[in-house]
């Protein structure tokens, strides 16, 4: 079988750093934080009262008011992100190509806000007051479903729900669809919107969220720092248009990067904690290298999962050392969650956008708040601001509850 080459020909971002790609990237490179006090609900009684919210989002800028009322916030993000993506890619879906365009997205939790709203209504007014739109609003596959409705994409329509690895698994699945010739292009990445009372309470109960920096929210997300005390919950969308190389070249598309490798693994160990050795994470990265036909020394840059939790940051550092050996200290590692917070199922989408732009722009985003490095986290986390550097290969990592791991490798486009 002749495998297709797969390139990234479009990007979009809707994040705590900005409501479009350029604003998000500029703020990321400048080292600005998108973390602030929660405004989406009254969090005054919560131990964690900060989040990476998408600010001043207006869904009616992307769809009619009637449709917005029939969507949870995560689906609104998906449609907005897809419309910005197709505009960025200058890509038109027509009756002639619609069946060759897929939508494969990652969502971790789906419509948690919708569940909360209608559960309260059920208790207050009984089952007769439940909207017929409740179920279609909350199910996670409504994100790619709504994107297909709004764009006309009639190819494979799939959701991956694998906790914090959801978006990266979606990107890997999309890569495979084009690689095997099943699609010409795929709208992929991840979306999430779970900054809700139940979402924040649940992660706080797990002792997963930062609670020490409510008065200094921009200092709260501090991957690899000795004073880290948990992640900061975020929301948003990070989408990529993947396209066969021949299609992208035929239409004169801007190519941001090429995807050359993807790997996945499972720790088979614990519901929430990674295996302390990091061997599962290392296997996902090794599998990505194998599929790309690369040696470890080829990787110049890693956008790390780097959640700002004690276990993840130490374990990911161990995994990188385990796989890359003597090359590990020479890899430029970015922990962009220090600025965006943790977007859960959307994390790998947003961070893949950052990985592609890092190669395209020749800029490695810095890591903020790394003021007192953990002695067990002793690699090059680019903590003195963003660096201008031309890299050839970038790896993006995502690791989720249940021990699920994913890695994707991007190659700088030089065509």
Residues 210/50, Cβ–Cβ less than 8 Å: yes
- For 136, the enclosing helix (H) or strand (E) is helix 134-138
Distance CA(285)–CA(395), nearest Å, equals 8
Distance CA(137)–CA(68), nearest Å, equals 10
**Among 129, 131, 134, which residue's Cα sits nearest to residue 111?**
134
Which residues face 240 on adjacent strands? 11, 188
Residues 155/100, Cβ–Cβ less than 8 Å: yes
DSSP string, 12-57: EEEBTTBSSHHHHHHHHHTT----EE--SS--TTSS--EEBPPPS-
Give the other-Cβ count within 10 Å of 322's Cβ: 17
| 3-class secondary structure, 192 | strand
305 in active site: yes
User: With the C-alpha atoms ordered 283, 288, 294, 298, is the resulting torsion angle positive or negative?
Assistant: negative
Of 183, 342, 391, 396, the active-site residue reads 342
Q: What is the largest CA-CA distance in the chain?
A: 64
Which residues face 158 on adjacent strands? 104
Residues 366/387, Cβ–Cβ less than 8 Å: yes
Angle at alpha carbon of residue 295, lines to 292 and 296, rounded to 5°: 105
Q: In this structure, what are the phi and psi dihedrals at residue 211, rounded to the nearest 5 degrees?
A: -125, -5
Of 113, 164, 301, 396, the active-site residue reads 164
388 in active site: no
Alpha carbon of 119 to those of 107, 113, 114, 376: distances in Å?
21, 10, 8, 44
**Quick one: tokens of 276?**
């302390």
Helix axes 21-29, 347-361, angle to 10 degrees: 70
Total residue count of the chain as it appears in this document = 415
173 in active site: no
Of 169, 275, 305, 391, the active-site residue reads 305
Indicate which residues carry an active-site annotation: 164, 305, 342
């Amino acid at each position: 079988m002749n495998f297709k080459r797969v390139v990234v020909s479009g990007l979009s971002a809707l994040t705590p750093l900005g409501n479009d790609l350029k604003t998000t990237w500029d703020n990321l490179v400048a080292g600005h934080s998108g973390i602030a006090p929660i405004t989406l609900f009254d969090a005054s009684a919560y131990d964690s009262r900060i989040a990476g919210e998408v600010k001043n989002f207006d869904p009616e800028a992307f769809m009619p008011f009637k449709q917005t009322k029939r969507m949870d916030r995560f689906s609104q993000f998906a449609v907005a992100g897809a419309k910005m993506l197709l505009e960025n890619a200058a890509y038109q879906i027509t009756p002639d190509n619609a069946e060759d365009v897929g939508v494969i997205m990652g969502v971790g939790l789906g419509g948690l806000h919708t569940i909360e709203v209608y559960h309260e209504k059920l208790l207050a007014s009984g089952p007769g007051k439940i909207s017929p739109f409740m179920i279609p609003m909350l199910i996670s596959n409504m994100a790619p479903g709504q994107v297909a409705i709004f764009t006309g994409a009639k190819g494979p329509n799939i959701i991956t729900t694998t906790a914090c690895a959801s978006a990266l698994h979606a990107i890997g699945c999309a890569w495979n669809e084009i690689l095997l010739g099943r699609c010409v292009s795929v709208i992929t990445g991840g979306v999430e919107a779970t900054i809700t009372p139940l979402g924040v309470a649940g992660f706080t109960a797990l002792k997963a969220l930062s609670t020490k920096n409510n008065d200094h929210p921009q200092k709260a997300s501090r991957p690899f720092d000795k004073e880290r005390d948990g992640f900061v919950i975020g929301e948003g969308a990070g989408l990529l248009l993947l396209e066969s190389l021949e299609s992208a070249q035929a239409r004169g598309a801007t190519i941001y990067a090429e995807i050359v490798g993807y790997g996945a693994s499972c720790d088979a160990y614990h519901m929430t904690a990674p295996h302390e050795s990091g061997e599962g994470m290392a296997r996902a990265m090794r599998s990505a290298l194998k599929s790309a036909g690369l040696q470890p020394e080829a990787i110049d840059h890693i956008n790390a999962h780097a959640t700002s939790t004690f276990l993840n940051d130490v374990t990911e550092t161990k995994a990188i050392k385990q796989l890359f050996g003597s090359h590990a200290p020479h890899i430029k590692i970015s922990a962009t969650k220090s600025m965006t917070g943790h977007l859960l199922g959307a994390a790998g989408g947003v961070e893949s956008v950052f990985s592609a732009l890092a190669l395209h722009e020749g800029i490695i985003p810095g890591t903020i708040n790394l003021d007192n490095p953990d002695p067990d986290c002793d690699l090059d986390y680019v903590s003195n601001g963003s660096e201008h550097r031309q890299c050839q290969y970038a790896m993006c990592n995502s690791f989720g509850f249940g021990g699920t791991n994913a890695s994707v490798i991007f190659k700088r486009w030089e065509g």
